[in-house]
Every structure is written in structure tokens, then in C-alpha cells.
Amino acid sequence: MEVKEYVKLRKEELRQEVLAMPHTPKLIIIQANDNPASDAYIRGKLKDSAEIGFVGVLDKRDPSISEEELLKVVKQYNEDPSVDGLIVQLPLPKHISEEAIKMAIDPKKDVDGFHPLGDFIPCTPKGIVNYLSHEGFEFTGKNAVVVGRSNIVGKPMAKLLLAKNCNVTQLHSKTSREDMEFYIAHADLIVVAVGRLALIDKSFKYKPDAYVVDVGMNRGDDGKLHGDCEPGLPVALQTPVPGGVGLLTRLALMENLLEATKK
Ligand code: NAP
């Protein structure tokens, strides 16, 4: 099933669940930047919230806000029992420590899944694994390659695949082309989270039954959004960009919010 179709189906299931709940889940998004990409992500999150029946609230602060002041805002929402999920949209202004803010969010409300003590799986890896499970991918014993090792995607992705009993190999900017070719040729699952247009292309050899998940989002010379993978790779499944992992990430956020509310 296409990602778009799957997301639509799951959103409807979530909507039905919310209808039957005594309390409407509430999500707060704190934004302290003037970043147009953040504006677009937030619009998407608020749209999803509204469609599913959650209350979504944007608390926009001036980017000149001090770290101390922002920590106070976070504390206020941590202590507010009507708030189920709390997100601080990244990036933050340079004078504010992202680490300090992330760690200040109550782990029970950290629906982004960034807090090391939180119960929530970060949204991008969670969305990907849930979708692959729905598509019938059997994780146990499969060779999974994760290209990229960032804290936000690559590392949590590899950790989750390991927990699903895959044989995980993590590649990065210091991996040689020769090794990259070797690991990709033997992979049953390839997750690419780099941020380089068409890094993974038809010049590599693939298992015909491999699954390729493209996390990358790159603005091309044509002004359009493109992934890290060349479209039309000779594999069994390849997620598109746009209309792929971005939607799965948004869906996983809504799933985390519902979980937070139930807790
Ligand atoms: P990041 O923090 O810049 O990390 C990029 C990773 O790619 C690094 O680990 C880097 O290796 C590795 N890398 C760079 N050049 C490489 C190469 N030539 N070969 C192999 N690995 C290479 O980026 P990120 O935050 O993980 O994001 C990655 C991409 O995913 C971006 O395009 C971002 O926009 C997108 N993204 C999408 C979503 C979504 O919901 N769709 C969510 C998050 C991110 P080193 O560690 O060695 O430097």
C-alpha cells in the first residue's frame, strides 16, 4: 500500500479512537524561531491534529526570548494537567541550548521522543517501522543498512531495527564507496537519512526484493523536494519524496500523542 493511503487509513483509525475517549488529547507546539520550514512543519502537525480530533495549539514566542524564559514556558506546560503532549520546534535560536530545552520537557509529554528517559520512540524511526510492518516486512534476521548516523534519525533508526532483530550496519560519510556498494548489495532493507540529492542511485547493485526507505529531503534546482535516492531503483519497495517518510513521521507524532493521553 502506498504511504499516502496507509497514512489516511491510520488517521481514520486514530480519529475513531479519539471519538471514543472521554478526554480530547491536547498538543502544545512551542515555536521560538522565524524559520519558514518550521512554519510548514507546524502547519502540517496542526492540520493532522485537527483532522484526527486532537486540540493542537501553537504558542509562538519571539526568537529573542531568553533560555531562562523559555524554560519557564516549558515548565508551565509540564505542570498543566490539560496538556498531554509538548513539542518545542527545532531549530532554536543560537543563544538557547537545544539540549537544555529537550531535557526540560516532561518525559511523559515528550511526544517527539527526544528525551532519553521518555517512553516514546522518536517519530521518524517509529513511523518507518510501523509502515514496514504493515507492508509485511519481516525484520528478524534481515540485513538492514542505515545510511547516516545523526542523533535525530540515523542512530535511533539503527537502534530500533536492532531491537526488531535485524542485522544492522550503519554507514556514514567516512564509509568508502567500495564498502557502501558491498553493504547495499547485501541489504534487505536500506534506510537513507543523509540529506544529499540522489546519493543512492542506480549505479549500486540491489537485491530485487529489497526495501528502500528514503528519509532525505533536499530542495532541488527545480525548486521541488527530492529524496536522497534516485527514483525508480530496481527494488521491491521504495518510499517516495515527497509523500513518504515525512507523512509517516507526522503520523507517528499523532500516535505518540494518543499514547501519552492514554497514560
Ligand atoms: P544530519 O544531521 O546532517 O546527518 C547526516 C548524516 O549523513 C551524517 O551522519 C553524515 O555522516 C551522513 N553523511 C553525509 N554525507 C554522506 C555520504 N556521502 N555518504 C554517507 N553518509 C553521509 O542530517 P539528519 O538530521 O539525519 O537528516 C538527514 C536527512 O533527512 C535530511 O535531508 C533531512 O532533511 C531529512 N529528514 C527528514 C525527516 C522526515 O520526516 N522526512 C525527518 C528528519 C530528517 P557523518 O556523521 O560522518 O558526518
* pLDDT tens-digit map of 10-25: 999 999 999 999 999 9
What pLDDT was estimated at residue 116? 86
What is the residue with the minimal CA distance to atom 40 of ligand 1? 246
- Per the annotation, the verdict on 112 as an active-site residue is yes
Which helix (H) or strand (E) segment is 21 a member of? Answer: none
Helices (H), 141-216: 154-163, 177-185
Sorted by sequence, the CB contacts under 8 Å of residue 76 that are 6+ apart come out as none
What pLDDT was estimated at residue 263? 85
What is the residue with the minimal CA distance to atom 6 of ligand 1? 148
Q: Tell me the CA–centroid distance for residue 228 and ligand 1, in Å.
A: 9
What pLDDT was estimated at residue 212? 98
- Per the annotation, the verdict on 89 as an active-site residue is yes
Kindly give the parts of the chain with pLDDT less than 70.
none
Are 209 and 222 spatial neighbours (Cβ–Cβ below 8 Å)? no
* Chain mean pLDDT for the chain: 97
Cα distance between residue 254 and residue 246, in whole Å: 13
Q: How wide is the angle at C-alpha 157 spanned by C-alphas 246 and 131, nearest 5°?
A: 50
What is the residue with the minimal CA distance to atom 23 of ligand 1? 194
What pLDDT was estimated at residue 119? 85
- Per the annotation, the verdict on 45 as an active-site residue is yes
What pTM did the predictor assign?
A: 0.95
Considering 31, 89, 170, 238, which one is annotated as catalytic? 89
Q: Tell me the CA–centroid distance for residue 7 and ligand 1, in Å.
A: 24
Q: C-alpha grid cell for residue 127?
A: 513511523
Q: Tell me the CA–centroid distance for residue 216 and ligand 1, in Å.
A: 7
